[in-house]
Structures are given as C-alpha cells and as structure tokens.
Amino acid sequence: MSFLHNYIYYIGAAGLVLIGLLIILAKHHLIKVIIGLSILDTGVNLFLIAVGYIKDGTAPIFSRPDLDPGRMVDPVPQALVLTSIVIGVAILALALGLAVKLHREFGHLDLRKIKELKW
Amino acid sequence: MVGLPLLVAVPLGLAFCLPILGLASKRAVAYVPVLASLFNLVVSISLIPQALEKPVVAYMGGFSPPFGITLYAGPVGLFMSTLVALAGLVVSVYALVYIDKGPTVKYHTLFLLLLIGATGMVLTGDIFNLFVFFEILTISSYALVAYFGDRGGLEAAAKYLVLGAAGSGLMLLGIGLLYGLTGTLNMADIAARIGSVPPVSAFVSLALIVVGLGIEGAVFPLNGWLPDAHSSAPSTISAILSGIAIEVGLYGVVRVVFTVFGASNILLFLVILAVLTLLVGEICAFAQKNIKRMLAYSSIGQIGLILFAVAVASSASIAGGLFQLLSHTLSKVVLFLAAGYMIHRSGSTEISSLEGMGSRMPLTSFAFAVAAFSLVGLPPFAGFPSKFLIVRAAVAEQGVIFLVLIGLVLFGTVIEGAYFFRVIQALFFKKKENKPERHDAPALALVPIFLVVVIIVAIGVWPDAITGLLDSAASELLERAEYIRSVLG
C-alpha cells in the first residue's frame, strides 16, 4: 500500500492524461474532444502540483522562524500551474468559439462529416 | 543590454494598446505592426555585431540565474529574431492593402501577438518561458487561420487547435517532468545537470517536449494540420505561418535536442524523420491542383530539408540548414504574398485558373517566378548556396547511409522543381483566348514583395555576407559548454 500512498497523485495525473488523450483520439463529437483537451490539461496541472508537493508541507514563508524549510512546498510548480490554467482557459474559450461557428456553418459537430479539406 | 528585453516588451505593449487605439481609428491600427516589426528589425540587426563577439544575456528583474527568466541572444537567436522581424515587416506592409474587410483590429492585434510569440521563443533562455511564448504564437495562429470565418477556415482551425492543444499539453507534461528531475527551469542550468539524471526519465521528457514542438514544426508524422491551415488562412497569414511559425517550432526542437538535452544519440532518428518529411511533402505537393495547398506541402518538404541538414550535426551542415531556413522564409513569403493577389484577381485557387497571369499581372508573376527559382535552388538566387552547402556537408559525412539519404533529398528537390515549373509554365507560357487587360497588384503590396526579391538575389550573389553569422550560429548550437558558461557565468 505504501507505493499507492506515495504515488497516488502521479497515478491520478497519469490517469487523467491518458483519459484525456483517449477521448481526443476516440470521440467524433467536437464538444467531447474539447472536454478531452480539458481533462488532459487538468491531468498535466495535477502532475505539476504533485512534482512540488510535500505531504503535510507548509507554505514557503521564510520570515516565520517556526516553519521548517525542509517541509516547505516548492512554490515554482504552483506558479507554473497558474500560468498553465490561464493558457488552458484561452484555448478552451477559443475552441468553444470555433465550435459555435462550426455549428452555425454545418448544423452539427460530427467530426466525421466535417471534412471538406482533403490531402 | 537595454535593447534585448525591448524586443519583446515594445511589441507586447503595443499589442495591448491596439484594441483601445482601434476605438479611435481603425486605419491607424494597421500601421502599428509595421512600426513594431521595423523597431524589432533595427534592434535585432544592431545587436548582431555585439552577439558575434559574446552572446547578449539579459536577466529579467535583475534575478541572477537560475532564478528568474533569462533572455539569451546568441547568433542563433538574433538570426531568427531578425528573420521574424523582416518577415513581419514585409507581411504587415502588404496587409495594409490586402486586409480590407472583416474584424481588422482583431487581425492586427493577433498578428502582432503572433510575432511576439515567435520573437520570444527564439530569444528566451527559460524552458517554461519557451512554453508560454509558444502558446502565444499558437493561440493567435489558431484564431487567425479562421479569420475569414468560412467553412474551410473553421474546419482547418479546429483541426489545428485540437492537435496543437493536445501537443502543448504533452509538452507541459515533459517540462514538469524535467523540472522534477533537475529542479530548475533555466535551459543552461538544465543542460548542466541533465547528465546526472536517469537516462530513461530524461528520454521520456525529451520525447514529450519534442512531440509538442514538433507539431508546430510540422515534422512528419505530426503535420496533418498544416496543409489545411496554410491553405485556408488569408494569404498574409499563410505567409507568416509558413515563413515564421513552423521555422520557430523547428528552432524549438533543435534548441531542446542540441542545447538542453545534448541528445546526440537521437540525431540519426531525426535525420530519417526529416527525409520522410521531405519526401511526403514534395510528393503530396506534386499532386495538388490548388496553388496554396501546393505551397503548403512544399513548406513541409522544405522543413524536412532544414531538419535533415541540422540533424546531420556537423558545423557546415548546421550552417547550411540555417541558410536554407533563411532562403525558405524569404521565398515562401514572396510566393504566398504574390499568390494572394493572383487568387484575388482570378477568383480561384486552382493552378489552371492562373494561366496567362504573366501578361495580366507581370510584376507579381515575375516575383513569384524569382521566389520559385530560389526555392528550387537555381543560381543566382539565395536557394542555390544554401542547398549547395547542405549537399556538400552531407557528402563530407562518413557513411553510406548519408549518401543514400542525400540521394533521396536530391530526388525530393527534383520533384520540387517539377511542380514549381508547372506553375511557372501556367503563368507565362499558356495564353488565354481572350486577352484580359493588365491589372497588377497595388503598389503598396508590390513594394514589400520586391524588397524581399532584392534580398533573395543579393544573398544569392553574395552568400559570404551572412555565412559568418551562420557559422557562429552553428558553433553556438554545437558547443553546449559555451552556452552554459555564458548564461551561468
């Protein structure tokens, strides 16, 4: 059980990434694909947080002498995740905007039938 | 030292002001990208002599590395940022007349953001910052591909977005893994520590990052989005995507493989991938009847050639590859911009509808022909010395495999010649029955096109003018220790 206990966040992150990839690859509905992208993004964010996480850790405030520097959570991945969430929102908004326009043009969002461009 | 952060900061500040300026005057907005790229061009060129002696490194916010973000302007970075600014200047002058309908303020804002993303990517020395600029570049290009809002553009943008977003998610995963392994985000610091990392973990991280960047760099088999996106976008955006965006993606791959990971053992894999990219691109281009799709596939082929030369990884071949990158950018910008007004006048993208354009639009057709000859590699244009350098460097490598591969590359070039000459034949040698009157592209569009044509001929006649810069760029990529020392001190 200690393996599960130590690596539960990594397992969860890998699971979310794989679920997201599976949805992107297997689904034909554009909204579902966008949901897949969102799940993939969440998995990546969880992974980033897990990289810097320490169990029962504290915030990295060096001006407080009662906090042990060895038990402080790494703040860099959290800053990265903040940026990554903002980027994710931009992509999600643009993707949904495109989906609205596509639905107006084609009347459906079935990716198997949206293929006017060919190799 | 002061100049380097301004390369990113000035255009970024202007891009944020554009929507407000757009409320006052829509006409004025179109001139801002011209000014911003002119500024970047002047600053980049003025930094080159300094960077040839010693790379210019700027520490953002005064934090010394590995904390804080560094901007690193070596010969490679400044070569690329000069190219981005030059292409941006040419395309934005052309856009003054070409982009006349639709949400023009949004167009110019996104265009400027795209240029910032490209400039930032080639100048940054921090791998997460590379990711952020990469996202700025890609998100603005997704939106610009769908600028016309027609069926093809929307479909292409949706494909591009899904593929690109999945790729950038994987890239971020790779960066997170790299941070977990080395505890730093500074590229030089990672490069210094990567040797003590378990090789399997480093390889997984490298693979994830290369896949993410390779999608933008259009390396086979990650290039399914490219022909659709490049052919459905407005011609100005096709020019900038083809001339700048994919090259910058390729720069990312090369920087990560050479400098950050020093992964010389995957270079043979990259060489084979590059030859496949080249053959797939050229063969598909030959089969196209739509001129913009043909040019888009030709970009895939050229990317294959550039990656081939860089991945052979001798000093001469990297210099040749960067030379090819320069000549491809110049030629492809002219080709797409010239094709833009030809399509505008004839009303169709079919190659057959361009017959007789040589007498109808002589100056535009002339520019198209010069750029096509340069891309195929005829002297005295810029494409000749670049291809010559690549072939000479690859033949100088030991081993039969390089001889076989260079044979395939030359075969690809022959196909390239075949489909470009077919277009030239349609332009000049097929006469339409009824003689249409002469109606060339507007002067404001011809001036930037001919500026690039002059540069193509000038570089073709005096290749020595830039080989010094290219040689030191090649040594920057090959000498990791030098890179690490110049950042970390």
Direct distance between the N- and C-terminal alpha carbons of chain B, in angstroms, rounded to an integer = 16
Asked if pLDDT for residue B459 goes beyond 70, the answer is: yes
Question: Residue B201 corresponds to which tokens in the numbers above?
Answer: 């973990």
**What is the per-residue pLDDT across B76-89, written as a single tens digit (0 to 9) for each?**
999 999 999 999 99
- CA–CA separation, B123 vs B55, rounded Å? 11
Q: How confident is the model at residue B352 (pLDDT cuts 50, 70, 90)?
A: confident
Assigned architecture for domain A2-56+67-117: Orthogonal Bundle (1.10)
Note whether B376 and B476 are within 8 A (CB). no
**What is the per-residue pLDDT across B292-329, written as a single tens digit (0 to 9) for each?**
999 999 999 999 999 999 998 888 999 999 999 999 99
Q: Which residue has the higher pLDDT, B92 or B397?
A: B92
Any alpha helices (H) in B126-186, and if so which ranges?
127-145, 151-182
The mean-pLDDT minimum among A42-46, B148-152, B253-257, B284-288 falls in B148-152
Nearest CA in chain B to A118: B228
Q: How confident is the model at residue A62 (pLDDT cuts 50, 70, 90)?
A: confident
Residues of B in contact with A48 (CB under 8 A): 172, 176, 179
- CA–CA separation, B220 vs B135, rounded Å? 21
Task: Give the predicted TM-score (pTM) of the model.
Answer: 0.94
- SS3 of B70, please? strand
Residues of A in contact with B142 (CB under 8 A): 94, 98
Q: How many domains does chain B have?
A: 1
The single residue listed with the structure tokens 């011609």 is B235
**What is the per-residue pLDDT across B230-248, written as a single tens digit (0 to 9) for each?**
988 999 999 999 999 999 9
Asked if pLDDT for residue B434 goes beyond 70, the answer is: no
Q: How confident is the model at residue B435 (pLDDT cuts 50, 70, 90)?
A: low
Instruction: Give the mean model confidence (pLDDT) for residues B144-148.
Output: 91
Residues of A in contact with B173 (CB under 8 A): 17, 43-44, 47
Instruction: Give the mean model confidence (pLDDT) for residues B262-279.
Output: 89
> Tell me, what's the pLDDT at B399?
80
Structural domain including B202 reads 3-488
Contact state of B155 with A115 under an 8 Å Cβ cutoff: yes
Contact state of A77 with B135 under an 8 Å Cβ cutoff: no
> Tell me, what's the pLDDT at B208?
94
Residue from the list B139, B177, B232 with its beta carbon closest to the beta carbon of A91: B139
Asked if pLDDT for residue A117 goes beyond 70, the answer is: no
> Tell me, what's the pLDDT at B120?
94
Q: How confident is the model at residue B163 (pLDDT cuts 50, 70, 90)?
A: very high
- CA–CA separation, B159 vs B164, rounded Å? 8
Asked if pLDDT for residue B347 goes beyond 90, the answer is: no
Contact state of B176 with A51 under an 8 Å Cβ cutoff: yes
Residue from A29, A72, A78, A87 whose CB has the most chain B CBs within 10 Å, to mutate:
A87
**Residues constituting chain A:** 119
Asked if pLDDT for residue A66 goes beyond 90, the answer is: no
Q: Indicate the DSSP class of residue B413.
A: H
**What is the per-residue pLDDT across B377-417, written as a single tens digit (0 to 9) for each?**
888 899 999 999 999 998 888 788 888 888 888 899 999 99
Instruction: Give the mean model confidence (pLDDT) for residues B201-216.
Output: 92
> Tell me, what's the pLDDT at B76?
92
> Tell me, what's the pLDDT at B141?
93
Any alpha helices (H) in B198-266, and if so which ranges?
199-217, 226-232, 235-240, 246-255
Percent of chain B with pLDDT over 90: 58
Q: How confident is the model at residue A115 (pLDDT cuts 50, 70, 90)?
A: confident
> Tell me, what's the pLDDT at A1?
65
The single residue listed with the structure tokens 């407000």 is B20
Q: Which residue has the higher pLDDT, B436 or B92?
A: B92
Nearest CA in chain A to B179: A51
For residue B105, the one-letter residue type is V
Cβ-based interface (< 8 Å): residues of A facing B: 17, 20-21, 24, 30, 33-34, 37, 40-41, 43-44, 47-48, 51, 76-77, 80, 83-84, 87, 90-91, 94-95, 98-99, 101-102, 105-106, 114-117, 119
**What is the per-residue pLDDT across A68-104, written as a single tens digit (0 to 9) for each?**
877 888 888 989 999 999 999 999 999 999 999 999 9
**What is the per-residue pLDDT across A97-109, written as a single tens digit (0 to 9) for each?**
999 999 998 888 8
> Tell me, what's the pLDDT at B432?
67
User: How big is the A-B interface in CB pairs under 8 Å?
Assistant: 94
Asked if pLDDT for residue B281 goes beyond 60, the answer is: yes
Contact state of A117 with B228 under an 8 Å Cβ cutoff: yes
> Within 10 Å of residue B437's Cβ, how many Cβ atoms?
6
CB burial of A26-38 (b: ≥16 within 10 Å; e: otherwise) equals: eeeebeebbbbbb
Q: Report which secondary-structure segment, H or E, holds B73.
A: strand B70-73
Instruction: Give the mean model confidence (pLDDT) for residues B188-192.
Output: 91
Q: Which residue has the higher pLDDT, B86 or A111?
A: B86
Residue B457 to chain A, least CA–CA distance (Å): 33
